Chains A and B, each alone.
Chain A
Amino acid sequence: MSRKIIKSKYDLYEEKIETIAEVPSEKEKPLAPNSKLKYVGKDVNRYDGYDKVSGSAIYTIDKVLPNMVFARVMVSPHPHAKIKSIDVSKALKLKGVLHIITNENTSEIPWYYNTSKLFDKHLRYQGDEVACVAAETEKIAEEALSLIKVEYEIMPHVVTAESAMKENAPKIHNNGNFGRPSEYTRGNFDEGIKQADVTIEDTFTTQVEVHNPTEVHCSVVNWDGGKLTVWDSTQSIFSVRDNVAQSLGLNASDVRVVKKYMGGGFGSKLEAGKYTVMAALLAKKIGRPVKAAMNRREMNLSVGNRPDSNQTITIGTKKDGTFTAMSHIAYGVMGAYPSGSSSYWPLRSIYKCPNIKIDNKSIYINAGRARPFRAPGHVQGTFALESIIDDLALKLGMDPIELRLKNYTEVDQDGDVPYTSKLLKEAYEKGAEEIGWKNRNKIPGSQTGEIKTGIGMASQIWWGGGAPPSYATLKLNSDGSAKIFSGTQDIGTGTYTFMQQIAADVLEIPIDKVNVDLGDTGTMPYSGGSGGSMTAPSVSPAVYDAAIQMKQKLISNAAAILEVDESNLIYSSGNISSKNDSSKSIEIKDVVGKIHERVLVTTGARNENPNGYAINSFGAQFAKVEVDTMTGIVRVKKIVAAHDIGRVLNRKTLENQFYGGVIMGLGYALMENRVIDDYTGKVLTTNLHDYKMPTMQDMPDIKVIIVSEEDNLISPTGVKGIGEPAMIPTPGAIANAVFNAIGVRIKSLPITPDKILEALNSKS
């Protein structure tokens, strides 16, 4: 099958990502509809389910190598300080301590886009790395940390955006506390406001949320001569390979990154950790494998978070609800090092509006740096936007869905190009029906009684159409089994399983004949990081392509073996036979068995994205809540998630993703909150009691409705990603349902009992 090399373009936020990629030169015939397939789209059990449930799956945190030692990182106890001196002599004398690295014995390795170093003397948050100890046991390493004597020069700190933006605020970086701003204009906002009959403006705030995946961030490293192997708990093995190689001055080919199972990442594991590079430096010095693992406290300080936000939104409309102007003026904290905190994208993209003004500021504070977090910016942006749209609907006397439909757009607002598919209208219809939209309170808060119920909804837009380069290699063996290799990684979402399903359906063989190996930069063809809801839409077409090629290869080989012209052969259920002569038939395992190498290999590639289209996923979630007006407690009774996500690859793992996204959205809406003490600049929520996440008992009834079939304009598998869409609208839907129940708008997340009680109290 012929190939071509292209410059692949993919939009993510303002970034136009360009990569060189090899893609099939012709558009391939798409995978058959799910109704005609045996495995794809069905309730297929996870490939790795048994290993995970039985405990035989070895995660990175479980990895043990012979002769392995342990590293622990010492971090700054102060939010802002300079290291005056470090004395490790006492720690080095402790029995079992093997080596300690600090800024004094390590070369300067740039970090955080060159704004800092692996070991920086200038410590900008509680959790900034000071030293790293390797010892025979984790306990000895921990004890050694307490023996390191550091003299700090304590500097004034700022831990809120409001104080960091003040002119006389302590500067975290030489050029001040402002990061790269996000500004955007479409049309003329002021003109648009002049045309409006009604305007609404309000300010919404959201908190810092911490990823807190089950598996802590960790690496195990081992040198073999000048070559380094890293087992890492990561969402992106190739990014870690490149980061580590660059930090250590190695060729990328000399670093091999491996990851088999993953205990969650949610965006916090897309880059190499400092601990990974520190472990590699220690391992080199000691000559033994090193494991470096964070503890839960460090997980809450140092490995990322969702920035907070303060968003002021203005919308101008005609009397009939047609938007004439929208603006989004916001700021948020990105922590001590460069990241981003903008939250405007939903407002910019989801509704039709000719005049838009956006100004988002990202602020440095003395706290852990933000990292991508399951739909960066979109979750907080959707909460604010969808809250004010409901308020506007009330003001206009319109049904909230009607107002959204009034401003529905069939074309992407930036590029003025159509979407490959957009079934948001259908999601509104199906979702509204399932939740009983017509039963919501016409007048919010109008129910009598102490416990009031409410219904609310929110819409969602995201990218997640996938892109090349992404490759998968398929091997077919003479026992009839197949194996797929791809340098993507399964972060718990079901990547292993859908690959199996696609190959089994194309080759028409039993699914248990198909094995999958993922997550090894040393032996597998490239695929991208598992973030941005990109994995399935990027890699599923590559697997499909590999399987299609394999089928063709089998037919060609069978033709030679059977001495029948290819055009006279039929492929069916793993058998190849002649149309005319039923005695000429061969099973595919025998085809492989008859060829010299006893194995057939193909490598498939993700196709090029279509020109002239925008690729987005859409959805709407509906929440039914009960608010106890005596206690301020919100119970989410039901969430309906109605989404347009292209083809469903696996109904079970799809629903799992939605359950995970919804419960994460519920946690963000109602309880999760990183709290910093302003006076000392220290984090108060470094354990899983004080940082409250939802438990199984907080889970509502979740109903998942998929309104889409395959979208074959995108790729032959027609898939859009669902990781992020599953969470984006949940908090907005819950907030609107709470408003519908009590008739008072809670404008800040999380919606905790104190806020509800105080709001109800000041209303009455």
Chain B
Amino acid sequence: MKDFNYIQPDSLSQAGKYLSNRNNDAVILSGGTDLLSLIKENIYTNENVVNLKTIPNLNNIKYKKGEGLTIGALTKISDVAESKIIKEKFTVLAEAAKEIASLQLRNMGTVGGNICQRPRCWYYREDFDCIKKGGGECFAYQGENKYHCIIGGGPCYIVHPSDLAVALTALDAKVKLFFDDSSRIIPIHEFFILPEDDYLFENILRDGEIVTEIIIPDLPDGAKSSYIKIKERETWDFAVVSAAAVISKKGSNIKSGKIAYGGVAPIPWTEEIINKSLKNLNADKNEIEKISKIILADAEPLEKNKYKVILAKNLVKRILTNLVLDA
């Protein structure tokens, strides 16, 4: 572990000024549950660590009917999991939050940090000069790729580790970003980027840019949502595959719906064809079966992760059955 200076700004603008100066070689700390291990493992060797937790007003959850929900980037994951309005109205997000890591980590980890965390790929975390760290190759491609992506990969084959990101994608969330002294708001599907666009990073954040808020549009009354995460032990594990679904119903028909998958791609994955086919769907057992059969049709699994295709199909079947039929 390399020594670093610990910077504690009082305001967003102070942090923005400091971070936008490239000479400062700084990295952002919020909950620290990922960053500190990256520093300890010498994957990060920045000179300066900027703590955002000293900045006020970045940790609140606000809801306004018709407008939607905003969540400050420094909101603890455990607060999202326990929030009454999120549990009731944006169930998928509360369920995703509750599935994250362990209680101790949820009490430390923040929403902003969670969507910006680095991949769990063991080649990235261990002593390998892999492409994600600026090296020449992806060792997972022909190596131990049981936990790697089945779609959207190349030249790096990570999966995105965030549970919240999958739920937020299904909710069509937007991300508010702060740089130097100004803000911009972008849809979450534009926030995450594929390795073919930039294999060194998982999102569009520029050096020194800060995620300050998540904005979720309101859901129509009666909308239902859910998150299912498959992991190899009961707690403290990342998703092997996960699925998030948000469904609006009209009678026995689905009016509209959106499904996102985690653990299958380097970004939270959605398929337009599936979301379209959910529109005005008379959802019965057969229709759900049909949809689950066509999801991830373009998947190109690696040698050791073909099971993820089966798993993703089964999860979609289960989540739709739970939301639509068993309701």
Contact = CB atoms under 8 A, between A and B. Distances in A.
A697 B235 contact: yes
B139 A677 contact: yes
Contact of B318 (A139, A630, A632): A630
A686 interface: yes
B233 A695 contact: yes
B4 interface: no
Interface in A628-645: 630-633
A757 B128 contact: no
B120 interface: yes
B302 to A, nearest CB: 12
Given A631-B314, A695-B235, A679 B143 contact: yes
A601 interface: no
Contact of A690 (B122, B304, B317): B122
Contacts of A64: none
Given A694-B233, A753-B240, A761-B310, A687 B125 contact: yes
Nearest to A688: B236
Interface residues of B, number: 34
B158 to A, nearest CB: 14
B303 to A, nearest CB: 12
A534 B236 CA distance: 35
Contact of B144 (A670, A684, A752): A684
A692 interface: yes
Interface string B12-43: 00000000000000000000000000000000
Given A630-B317, A677-B144, A679-B139, A692 B233 contact: yes
Given A682-B128, A757-B307, A689 B317 contact: no
A695 B236 contact: yes
A600 B190 CA distance: 82
Contacts of A139: 1
Interface in B279-327: 304-308, 310-311, 314-315, 317-318
Contacts of A757: 307, 310-311, 314
B143 A678 contact: yes
B255 interface: no
Given A679-B142, A680-B139, A757-B310, A698 B234 contact: yes
B317 A671 contact: no
B221 interface: no
A167 interface: no
A758 B236 contact: no
Nearest to A126: B127
Interface residues of A, number: 34
Interface in B114-130: 120, 122-123, 125-128
Contacts, number: 85
Contact of B233 (A632, A684, A698): A698
B53 interface: no
A445 interface: no
A68 interface: no
B281 to A, nearest CB: 21
A692 B232 contact: yes
Contacts of B232: 670-671, 692, 752-753
B146 interface: yes
B307 A753 contact: yes
A754 B307 contact: yes
Contacts of B311: 631-632, 753, 757
A574 interface: no
A731 B308 CA distance: 25
Given A698-B234, A752-B232, A758-B306, 4 more contacts: A684-B122, A687-B125, A695-B102, A754-B308
Closest 3 CB pairs of A and B: A697-B234, A754-B307, A630-B314
23 contacts: A77-B127, A142-B1, A630-B315, A633-B230, A670-B233, A677-B143, A679-B142, A684-B123, A684-B144, A687-B125, A689-B236, A689-B237, A690-B122, A692-B232, A692-B233, A695-B234, A695-B236, A697-B235, A753-B311, A754-B304, A754-B307, A758-B310, A761-B307
